[in-house]
A = this chain, B = another copy of it.
Amino acid sequence: MDRILCGVDIGGTKLAIGLVTLEGRVIDSVTLYDHAQKDAQGVIAEIVGTVRELLERSGFGEEQLLGIGVGTAGHLRFREGVLITMSNLRGFKNYPLRATLQSHFKVPVHVDNDANAQAYGEYRYGAGRGFQDLVFMTVSTQIGAGVILGGRLFRGMTGTAGEIGHTIVEPHSDFLCPCGNRGCLIAVASGVALPSVFQKKLDAGMRSKAAERAAAERGEFSLSAVDGAFIKQGLDAGDEICVDIVKDYSDYIGIGVYNIFQVFNPQAVVLGGGLLNWGNEFFDRIKVRFSSLARDMLFDPMEIVREELGASAGVVGAASLVLEEA
């Protein structure tokens, strides 16, 4: 009997569910965008129904599943499988996610946060293959990380270890994180920070042709339009502010990678997340910043590599959790 994995990736805006081979290849998958409107019961029903539907249309039985892995946004109490908070899905406060899903399936259900899931996916199937100690860092709307030590996910006391995004790197920064703190990495170098960072450069008198063009085209320029894609366009067009933001962000992410190095001394750091789409120059600047800080304190080479799972990282990472605890 062929054994396969099932991965469920619960994000703030999308819910992706897929069947995955033991080699990490997606057999079939579905992505849904309506779960944020549902309550917890509705989301659970959607997940259970979609898993059954995928099994049926792919011709697999539930007994062929080695397990179901769930990667979710939010803070998780790992041992209990309880979702403590998840900002985008209100019904999930202190929600027994693992137990509830488990009640619908005979095969084991594994639940972890999405950064941990992606970290393990990269370790098992992607850019992290061959490294026993690595840190996966995602630079996206938020900044998170998953830490693999000795080939196992390291989760800490509650299950919230690896929150690199909340480490403070600029305590006197002008920028606040949604968490309320000043100058953590999320506050100065994430997707959510882009509008504030952009505004500050405008206030300082820097010019942005991208902003001027948007204003001319649409009658006005709204800061809420400043996301990773907007910066990428501006970067490619040589826009003064966008170029400067990419430079600043690479400096801060370089500091993040350096701090990871000093704390974990890992074999590799795998970088992923939407902002990496800013391209090779951004990625290379991060590496240069790291090297300029690590210098003669780096006694063995530490690899800094880009994630490899791409669009399927969420589902494949979630599915890989089944193997992590096996």
Residues of A within 8 A of B (CB): 75, 77, 84, 133, 147, 149, 154-164, 166-172, 179-181, 251-252, 255, 258-259, 262-267, 293, 295, 297, 299-300, 302
- Closest residue of B by beta carbon distance from A298: B158
In angstroms, Cα B168 to Cα A252, docked, is 10
10 contacts between A and B (CB under 8 A): A133-B157, A159-B265, A160-B262, A160-B265, A161-B263, A161-B265, A162-B265, A163-B297, A171-B255, A181-B293
Query: Which residues of B lie under 8 Å from residue A160 when comparing CB positions?
Result: 262, 265, 297, 299
Query: Which residues of B lie under 8 Å from residue A84 when comparing CB positions?
Result: 299
Inter-chain contact A263/B167, CB cutoff 8 Å: yes
- Closest residue of B by beta carbon distance from A289: B171
Query: Which residues of B lie under 8 Å from residue A158 when comparing CB positions?
Result: 265, 299-300
Query: Which residues of B lie under 8 Å from residue A300 when comparing CB positions?
Result: 157-158
Q: Contacts A154-B149, A299-B158, A299-B160 given: A168-B264 contact, CB under 8 Å? A: no
Task: Give the most central of A84, A155, A167, A251: most B CB within 10 Å.
Answer: A167
In angstroms, Cα B157 to Cα A302, docked, is 9
Task: State the Cβ distance, A137 to closest chain B Cβ, in Å.
Answer: 12
Inter-chain contact B168/A263, CB cutoff 8 Å: no
Inter-chain contact A157/B297, CB cutoff 8 Å: no
Task: State the Cβ distance, A261 to closest chain B Cβ, in Å.
Answer: 9
Inter-chain contact B297/A166, CB cutoff 8 Å: yes
Query: Which residues of B lie under 8 Å from residue A156 when comparing CB positions?
Result: 133, 264-266
Query: Which residues of B lie under 8 Å from residue A297 when comparing CB positions?
Result: 75, 160, 163, 166, 179
- Closest residue of B by beta carbon distance from A154: B149
- Closest residue of B by beta carbon distance from A164: B263
Task: State the Cβ distance, A179 to closest chain B Cβ, in Å.
Answer: 7
Query: Which residues of B lie under 8 Å from residue A302 when comparing CB positions?
Result: 157
Task: State the Cβ distance, A107 to closest chain B Cβ, in Å.
Answer: 28
Inter-chain contact A262/B299, CB cutoff 8 Å: no
Inter-chain contact A168/B258, CB cutoff 8 Å: yes
In angstroms, Cα B297 to Cα A170, docked, is 19
Query: Which residues of B lie under 8 Å from residue A262 when comparing CB positions?
Result: 160, 163-164, 166-167
Our pick among B77, B172, B293 for the contact of A299 (Cβ within 8 Å) is: B77
Inter-chain contact A295/B263, CB cutoff 8 Å: no
Query: Which residues of B lie under 8 Å from residue A147 when comparing CB positions?
Result: 263
Task: State the Cβ distance, A232 to closest chain B Cβ, in Å.
Answer: 25
